[in-house]
Structure 1
Amino acid sequence: LLIGFIPVFTFGLGTWQMYRLQWKLKLIEELEEQLAKPAMDLPRIINVGALPEFEWRRVTVKGIWDHAHSVLIGPKVRDNEGGYSVVTPLKRPDASTIIVDRGFVKKDRAEAARDNSDPESRVDGEVEVTGMLRLQPKSNSFTPENQPEKGLWYWPNIAELVDYSGGNKAGVQPVLVEALDQRDIGQHLADMKRGVPIGRPPKVDLRNEHATYAVIWF
């Protein structure tokens, strides 16, 4: 009986993975359509409850970086270089402050980018950022807990970043925008060398391994 049950069981798992594959492909298609829409401006006070409807939507935001509350999240690797993400609150004029993942910097330029202390990458005054709205990213079981009191950040826990930036009393909302990299390859490489944060590519990158699992079970 057990031997006869195994093929039925594995076939069921394979069928379920195919269903999940179709669901994931449809979700990715919907999110890519969302990302392809023109960038929109965020309201002065953001309705946080409505954010799930706008995840992956392009937005344009203006404000001044709150460098005093910048953090480095990582370590991570990009273009075969080790480094960190620079995450900084953006103080919008006459509006709430939001959290912006400005992008990747190499390890040897990371602290200077965080502190805005390097003349080659220093940014003062008002900036305009094009990015996309994101909900709370997930950590995995291998990711350590953040230790804000020690300046150790391993993943972007939005609630912790908001608290670190002053919280509701400072007008900080739990809104995360990931800056998009729209440079050509030459400017991309030059800015990375200078220690300028490099935003993420404008594409949906959801993990999708259901086809592999389906092959295994079938």
Structure 2
Amino acid sequence: MSDTRRPIWVDVTILLLAGIMLVGMIVLGNWQVRRLAWKLDLIEAVETRAFGEPAAAPNGGAPEYLRIFTSGILIHDKSLRVKAVTEIGPGFWIMTPLETAGKTIWINRGFVPSTLNQDQWTRPEGQVEVIGLARLDQPGGTLLERNQPETGRWVSADLVEMSRAVGLDNVQTGYFIDAEATPAPPWPRGGLTRLAFQNTHLIYALTWYAMAALFLGAIIYVVRDRLSTRD
């Protein structure tokens, strides 16, 4: 009677694949733990910086979500539109350079729906004061899309490329300002900076670790059962 037992190399291959899956689950759990630490830091930054009295816009770097103010003249003819999806719907952020006594600072004046044209936006003239939150430079684009300066398509606030595209010099790099809401006519609508963040990373991390533990138990059971049948 022929031996119908499964070849040992098949068992070894299955065990290796199972080991890879187990390591993958642990890696995903570890990644969620790192994301948890990042999210907690982000929430703390918002809570400690975004709601106090505004500080003067620094000449250099600025902590993200710090509430700051500055004044100058908006250069409307150099405004750019950055793709956005908000609670209002799809549209654009209106990014306008503000010429101050020092450097030119990019201002996110707020959101406009994609159905509006620039004739329906406010265009304040003369000296204006801007109060808002410092936001960090967003070079390149997003995970799903890239900026296309050559065609004027922007999906993130890449300050260096935006300044180059409209021919600006002496620009403040590193951060721009998300303007707060104002009582002026509604578009662009400021004050839509996202300040509430869902934090489910701990749940996801525990889920991956639990799956890894159960999977390891299953591997041990199958290996022991397989070894007993070979005796």
What is the TM-score with the length of structure 2 in the denominator? Answer: 0.68
Match of 2:181 in 1: 181
Match of 1:25 in 2: 40
Q: Label 1:109 to 1:14 Cα distance change in 2 as closer, same or farther (>3 A).
A: same
Letter in 1 for 2:102: A
* Distance (Å, rounded) in 2 between the aligned partners of 1:150 and 1:22: 38
1:67 aligns with one of 55, 60, 76: 76
Contact 1:64–1:127 (8 Å) recurs in 2:
yes
Bigger RCO of structures 1 and 2 (CA < 8 A, at least 6 apart): 1
Deviations 1:127-147 (CA, angstroms, capped at 9, x unpaired): 111111111236333213323
* Distance (Å, rounded) in 1 between the aligned partners of 2:42 and 2:87: 27
Match of 1:105 in 2: 112
Alpha-carbon distance, 1:4 to partner: 7.5
Q: Label 1:64 to 1:208 Cα distance change in 2 as closer, same or farther (>3 A).
A: same
Alpha-carbon distance, 1:151 to partner: 2.9
Alpha-carbon distance, 1:89 to partner: 0.2
Structure 1: gaps (5+ residues): none
Match of 2:9 in 1: none
Letter in 2 for 1:131: G
Structure 2: gaps (5+ residues): 1-14, 211-231
Contact 2:132–2:179 (8 Å) recurs in 1:
yes
Q: Label 1:154 to 1:21 Cα distance change in 2 as closer, same or farther (>3 A).
A: closer
* Distance (Å, rounded) in 2 between the aligned partners of 1:146 and 1:208: 32
SS across alignment from 2:192: coil
Contact 2:39–2:199 (8 Å) recurs in 1:
yes
RMSD across aligned C-alpha pairs, in angstroms?
3.0
Alpha-carbon distance, 1:154 to partner: 2.5
Taking the TM superposition and a 5 Å limit, the aligned residue runs for 1:174-213 are 174=173, 175-181=175-181, 191-192=185-186, 196-201=187-192, 204-205=195-196, 208-213=199-204
* Distance (Å, rounded) in 2 between the aligned partners of 1:124 and 1:68: 12
- The farther-off stretch of 103-112 and 135-144 is 135-144
* Distance (Å, rounded) in 1 between the aligned partners of 2:77 and 2:28: 51
Identity of aligned residues (%): 30
Letter in 1 for 2:98: L
SS across alignment from 2:137: coil
